[in-house]
Amino acid sequence: MTAAIRGICLDATDDRKLAEWWCSVLGYRLKLGTAHEMKGKWLGSIEDPEGKGPLIWFQQVPEGKTGKNRLHFDLLGDVDEILALGASVVTASSEENQWYVLADPEGNEFCVGTGDGVLT
């Protein structure tokens, strides 16, 4: 093995706000420092409380998103609930593709499967 994925990083103009939004979608929590890492302070990432999902980092950048993502999340979930949290529809589900392309509040695209649990 040459490398292993440590986490996934999203650029954001408001990194904390976007991190909190993704926490509400994924059931994650803000990763806080331990006694050795700025105890109790947010470390710029979110974590799966069950330890099963990847660590997701948020990097503050001055510019907004322009253009299409080259990498995105594929989720299984309830589209209506995610939209109610503030996502927007980029492409709706169709007969051929039982998934939606949505965007988070900063415009990062992600897919949500609505069919049999298999994203195509």
Domains of the chain in sequence order: 1-63 (no CATH), 65-120 (3.30.720)
Whether residue 118 is predicted with pLDDT greater than 60 in this model: the reply is no
pTM attached to this predicted model:
0.86
Q: What is the DSSP string of the chain?
A: -------EEEEESSHHHHHHHHHHHHT-EEEEB-TTSSBTSEEEEEE-TTS-SPPEEEEE-SSPP-S--SS-EEEES-HHHHHHTT-EEEE---SS--EEEEE-TT--EEEEE-SSS---
Q: How much is the average pLDDT of 13-32?
A: 95
CA distance 71 to 18: 17
The fraction of the chain above a pLDDT of 70, given in percent, is 95
- Model pLDDT, residue 116: 60
Q: Average pLDDT over the chain, rounded to whole?
A: 89
- Model pLDDT, residue 117: 52
Neighbour tally for 87: CB within 10 Å: 21
Whether residue 25 is predicted with pLDDT greater than 70 in this model: the reply is yes
Whether residue 105 is predicted with pLDDT greater than 50 in this model: the reply is yes
